[in-house]
Amino acid sequence: MKANASRSPILARSQKRRQIDLEIMVDWIRPGSRVLDLGCGRGVLLDELRRRKEVYGVGVDHDPTKVGVCIRKGLNIVQGDVAGSLQRFPPDSFDYVVFSRTLEMIGEPARTLGLALTLAPSVLVGAINRGFWKNRFSFLWGGRTARNEVYPLPWEDLPLTNHLSVGEFLAFVDRSGYRLAASVYLAGDWETRCTRWVSWRAGYAIFHLQRPPA
């Protein structure tokens, strides 16, 4: 399994992504809480939360294959898009709304995050840092977005509509008035934590947003 994973960089990354989101978010989420996971994929996080934290979880994903996997696991899953799903729940239906590599894929992230923060007092965001130094150099030298194991697809096939960088996100948090309750930055290996020069050094970032203080 491990040997296989190391041979395919994309698979290795996706498995690692699960691990990092898992470890950190599972750590942050209080036992017995209600979690809405937008773009839940195969439900790895929700499955783990259910097992370890007795969480009432609801997942949303548009991919029927992944929806099938979640059904098989006995998770609550709604096939559909993020924006539509957010409108189906009244305020304070959840304790956490999770965007794990989802925010980059949707339009109007501010509106979406705003809505998510009415549904739950806390929003967790996991994202690849577009501003990671290698990505910056790639653009600087080649004038093109990076193509590597994290961004395997060429420009014309990228599903990402809103590239997210640590710098952009932190500036947005400042403008929005939301409270950044916690953040974890991982270096290019997506394992080692880093705390300085994160806008350059972080390959992956995880944020815990809260409503603005009343």
Partner 1 sequence: MNDATQPSGEGDDGGEVGIVSHHDFDSPETFFFRSGESVPALRIRYETYGRLNREASNAILVCHALSGDHHCAGQYSLRDRKTGWWNRMIGPGKPIDTNRFFVVCSNCLGGCSGTTGPSSPHPETGQPYRLDFPVPTIGDMVRAQALLLDHLGIDELVAVTGGSMGGMQALQWAIDYPERVRNVLALATTPRQNAQAIAFNAVGRTAILQDPQWQGGRYPEGEGPHVGLAVARMMAHITYLSDEGLQQKFGRSRRLAAEHQSVEGVEFEVESYLRYQGQSFVSQFDPVTYIYFTRALDRFDLYALGGGSLEEAFAPVRSRVLVIGFTSDWLFPPEQNREVTAALLRGGKRASYAEVDMEFGHDSFLIDAPELRRFVREFLHRP
Minimum CB separation from partner 1 for residue 94, in Å?
A: 10
Q: Which is nearer to partner 1, 34 or 208 (CB)?
A: 34
> Residue 96: enclosing H or E segment and its boundaries?
strand 96-100
Number of H helices, E strands in the chain: 9, 7
Q: How far apart are CA 56 and CA 34, in angstroms?
A: 5
Q: Which is nearer to partner 1, 92 or 191 (CB)?
A: 92
Identify the residue among 25, 35, 49, 77 touching partner 1 (CB under 8 A): 77
Q: Which is nearer to partner 1, 59 or 203 (CB)?
A: 59
Is 15 one of the binding residues for partner 1 (CB under 8 A)? no
Q: Hey, which residues between 17 and 76 contact partner 1 (CB under 8 A)?
A: 34, 56, 58, 64, 67-72, 74-76
Q: How far apart are CA 57 and CA 210, in angstroms?
A: 19
Minimum CB separation from partner 1 for residue 120, in Å?
A: 14
Residue with tokens 């839940």: 40
Minimum CB separation from partner 1 for residue 95, in Å?
A: 13
Inter-residue contact 133 to 107 (CB < 8 Å)? no
Minimum CB separation from partner 1 for residue 193, in Å?
A: 35
Inter-residue contact 96 to 123 (CB < 8 Å)? yes
Q: How far apart are CA 182 and CA 195, in angstroms?
A: 12
Q: Which is nearer to partner 1, 52 or 72 (CB)?
A: 72
Inter-residue contact 80 to 106 (CB < 8 Å)? no
Q: Hey, which residues between 79 and 108 contact partner 1 (CB under 8 A)?
A: 79-80, 88-90, 93
Minimum CB separation from partner 1 for residue 98, in Å?
A: 15
The CA R_g of the chain, rounded to the nearest whole Å, is 17
Residue with tokens 């929003």: 123
Minimum CB separation from partner 1 for residue 21, in Å?
A: 22
Chain contacts with partner 1 (rule: CB under 8 A): 34, 56, 58, 64, 67-72, 74-80, 88-90, 93
